[in-house]
Amino acid sequence: MRYIPLLLLFALAACTSKAPTPEPELGPVVSIELPPLATRADTLAMRSFDAVGGPDAWSRVRYLKFDFGREAGIGKTVFRTHLWDRATGDYRLEWNQDEDRIVVVFNVNTREGTAAANGEVLPAAEQEDLLARAYRAYINDTYWLLAPIKLLDEGVTRTVVPDSATAEQEVIKLTYDNVGLTPGDRFWFWLNRTTGQLQRWGYILEGREDAPITRWDWLGYTPFDVGDVTVRLSKRKTDMAGTTHLMTDNISLPDTVDARSFSSFEPLFDEAASR
């Protein structure tokens, strides 16, 4: 048997034994800027944000995928499937339109992108309308999903509405200073006094100033882990009659996504029922 010095044996062992690769640390990927909490309404808005995870947790959420749809009776209709890279602003939206599967890939910051039907890029004349429709869907559908983290956005004015409060809930009203597609909208948020969780919202939309407030209960809050922190999202909004549910469900917050997500115009998501 050939003699091998002890020190060399240790060296060989060090070379052949592989230390476990540490898990990558998840840090902020999205910058969240908050205004000073100058009023009681600001403090309530911050409590609502904290109730669904808070700024630190949400700054770590890069990819967000969900369906936006409606459930009435025993049937569910999926209007649109969304995938958002919150770090870059890249966005993918798919929906059924007549006999076509529409795919729009765009950037929410620049609003530039491309629309396709059944995997074929559409003529330029058809692009503008679909890109505008996709951007409106992004604004509308993500607000139904993410309103609690948007109460402190720039351009939002918050006021307390004490005469609408209850023993269990406090109410703040939101108006908008030239932000969004319909800055004339008005929203009311009923927040749980103990937890700050958004339990109901109501709104009067721009151009319908004389209409009564439309109210929906926010239900089905579900936790999602992001590294060592947790965010919460409501999957169901129910009208006051209790018969119709707007669904923001099939939610996932993946660490990575398909490499084709923001470049391919072939449908990547399960086809759902048309609107």
| Residues 6+ positions from 92 with CB-CB distance below 8 Å | 82, 83, 84, 103, 104, 105, 261, 262, 268
Give the per-residue pLDDT at 4. 41
Note whether residue 258 is domain-resident: no
Host domain of residue 120: 36-252
Reply yes or no on whether the pLDDT at 117 is more than 70.
yes
Reply yes or no on whether the pLDDT at 122 is more than 90.
yes
Note whether residue 260 is domain-resident: no
Give pLDDT tens digits for 187-211: 999 999 999 999 999 999 998 888 9
Mean pLDDT computed over 237-252 = 96
Note whether residue 13 is domain-resident: no
Q: Which of 74, 141, 134 is nearest to 103 (CA)?
A: 134
Give the per-residue pLDDT at 62. 98
Give the per-residue pLDDT at 7. 38
Note whether residue 144 is domain-resident: yes
Mean pLDDT computed over 264-272 = 84
80 to each of 61, 189, 216, how far by Cα in Å?
A: 21, 25, 20
Note whether residue 10 is domain-resident: no
Reply yes or no on whether the pLDDT at 9 is more than 90.
no
**3-class secondary structure per residue, 191-236:** EECCCCCEEEEEEECCCCCCCCCEEEEEEEEEEEEECCEEEEEEEE
Q: Please state which of the ranges 135-149, 171-185, 241-255 shows the lowest mean pLDDT.
A: 171-185
Note whether residue 106 is domain-resident: yes
Domain count, the chain: 1
Note whether residue 16 is domain-resident: no
pTM passes above 0.85: yes
CATH number, domain with residue 150: 2.50.20
Mean pLDDT computed over 125-154 = 96
Mean pLDDT computed over 216-244 = 96
Give pLDDT tens digits for 11-49: 334 444 445 544 445 689 999 999 999 999 999 999 999
Note whether residue 191 is domain-resident: yes
